[in-house]
Amino acid sequence: MSNTSSGDPSPTTQFERLLREAGVSDTRFARQVNARARHQRRIELGLARTTVGHWRRGMRPRDPMVAELAAAEISAALGYPVRPVDLGWRGESYERDDLGLSSSNAPTETLSTLAGLSGRDMRRRDLLHDGTAFIASAFADPVLSSLTGVVDRVARPESTGASAGAVIRDMTETFRRLDAKFGGDEIRPQVVAFLHDRTRAAREGRPSPDLFSALAELTQFSGWLAQDSNRQALAQRYYIQALSLAEHADDAMLAGRVLSAMSDQAARLGHPRQSLALARAALGRAVRHSSYAVQAMLHDKHAWALARNRDEAGCMEALDKMDRAIARSDGDDGPSWAGHYNAGDVAECHGHCLLLLGRARPAETKLLEARSLQGAARARTRSYAEADLALAYLRRPTPDLEAALEAGYRAVAVAGQLSSSRVTEKLRELDRELDTHPTVAVREWHERARPLVGAAAGATAAT
């Protein structure tokens, strides 16, 4: 089979790295691709080890069928999906890239999918960023599987030794603190590489509910980082796999958290009805099994979804349930991932929901309360709340422009250290609303905010 140059002068190609990872020689790989061609395509390919050596050095198959066969063989050797495009090759056409969009009943298959998804993400920074859209309906099947319990559970090991997920949880918590303070762009490559490494290790080790639960937490966090980096199609796939892992572990609280994350993503991308359905699914799956802090988090997202659907009575009821849950949470033995949730988050939720419902004055009161309660390390949360406070001042019957600009400058000052599409979008909303007040002070605000607001000018929210 003839080859063409890839144009990549690097002596270490993606194909070579994956072949080394699989531990397969050129001769053996050529033999296995030939066998696959005979079995699947009924042809004699006659691939030689020298051709495989050319691929390692940067050549690529001219025939898309050969690229497909080689990619399928390296997928089998690695245990997770690799497509020709991941190798920089042209393969046979696919109708769409659906890796990670479906959930599996089998734990081993979920690990294989996640290893493939994280591996591709780790090696291709633009994975699922251009030309692939978030698909709201793709959440339906995994959510139904979660609510009906038709997912295979991982058996608990007979011996109880050290926690299989302890290292994963500790690293995830460290990553969370960095993300809350600085945003996700700087740490996302490290998080994805760690996820890929731990997922591959899980495939080779002894499965346990604790390990799958820890992986689910890390995968949900990876989805959040992708979402906050505006890689929405990729985030959706991580969320689907995180839900599957949580269900394999029979971790109801974490399943509820993932469903709430799905609700948040659907809302941000303009699907309020799906967001409400997902928030209700989170409550239905998890609220009876959750600590009080987790219950408060679930009611938090439910209240937001109701506010976005303009259901004021339902939102007020959800906020009341959130208040009661957080009041009872002091010292409860909840999961570590819920430890950050505090009275400041509760006050912010009240403020955000009241603002969505058009009640600017009470929103101000709650957001000012949140300012005094929220921790300094929660930079993203603080910046978002300050921007909403500025919007509340502008939406008074008689706008208070001076107070709005003061809160806006606070939001910009905190956001300066962040990389977060969520905060940037909120600042752009504030920037647009300030446009209706053409004063010198507002022009100065535009100049100050431009480096942050302009960063999202070319972003496509539904990517």
- Residue by residue, DSSP assigns 298-337 as HHHHHHHHHHHTT-HHHHHHHHHHHHHHHHT-TT----GG
- Give 461's DSSP letter: T
- Give 400's DSSP letter: -
φ, ψ at 60 (rounded to 5°): -140, 155
How far is 18 from 75, CA to CA, in rounded Å? 9
Output the DSSP codes for 86-111.
GGT---S--S---TTSS--SSHHHHH
Residue 451's contacts (CB-CB under 8 Å, 6 or more residues apart) are none
Tokens of 39: 């079995």
What per-residue confidence (pLDDT) applies to 132? 59
Secondary structure class of 2 (helix, strand, coil): coil
What per-residue confidence (pLDDT) applies to 456? 42
What per-residue confidence (pLDDT) applies to 130? 44
Element (DSSP H or E) covering residue 61 = strand 59-61
pLDDT in tens, the chain (463 residues): 445 544 444 457 888 888 888 888 888 888 888 888 777 777 788 888 888 888 888 888 887 778 888 888 888 788 777 878 778 787 776 545 678 888 888 999 999 999 989 988 887 644 444 445 788 888 999 999 898 888 899 988 766 555 778 999 999 999 999 998 888 888 999 999 999 999 999 988 888 999 999 999 999 999 999 999 989 999 999 999 999 999 999 999 999 999 999 999 999 999 999 999 999 999 999 999 999 999 999 999 999 999 999 999 999 999 999 999 999 987 677 888 988 898 999 999 999 999 999 999 999 999 999 999 988 888 899 999 999 999 999 999 999 999 999 999 999 999 887 888 899 999 999 999 999 999 999 999 999 998 888 744 333 333 3
47 within 8 A of 26, measured Cβ to Cβ: no
Q: Where are the alpha helices (DSSP H) in 205-291?
A: 209-228, 232-248, 252-268, 272-286
**Other Cβ atoms closer than 10 A to 149:** 10
331's torsion region: left (phi>0), alpha (psi -120 to 50) or beta? left
240 within 8 A of 137, measured Cβ to Cβ: no
Rounded to two decimals, what is the model's pTM?
Answer: 0.82
Element (DSSP H or E) covering residue 210 = helix 209-228
Closest alpha carbon to 71 in 60, 391, 370, 265: 60
Closest alpha carbon to 283 in 318, 250, 332: 318
44 within 8 A of 38, measured Cβ to Cβ: yes
Tokens of 337: 């991932």
What per-residue confidence (pLDDT) applies to 17? 84
Residue with tokens 């696959």: 36
Tokens of 325: 């849950």
What per-residue confidence (pLDDT) applies to 267? 94
How far is 335 from 290, CA to CA, in rounded Å? 9
Domains, the chain, with CATH or none: 3-87 (1.10.260), 101-250 (no CATH)
Q: Which long-range contacts (CB under 8 A, 24 or more apart) does 187-194 make?
A: 187/225, 188/222, 188/225, 188/226, 188/229, 189/122, 189/125, 191/218, 191/221, 191/222, 191/225, 192/118, 192/121, 192/122, 192/222, 193/122, 194/218
What per-residue confidence (pLDDT) applies to 462? 37
Q: What is the residue type of 358?
A: G
What per-residue confidence (pLDDT) applies to 159? 61
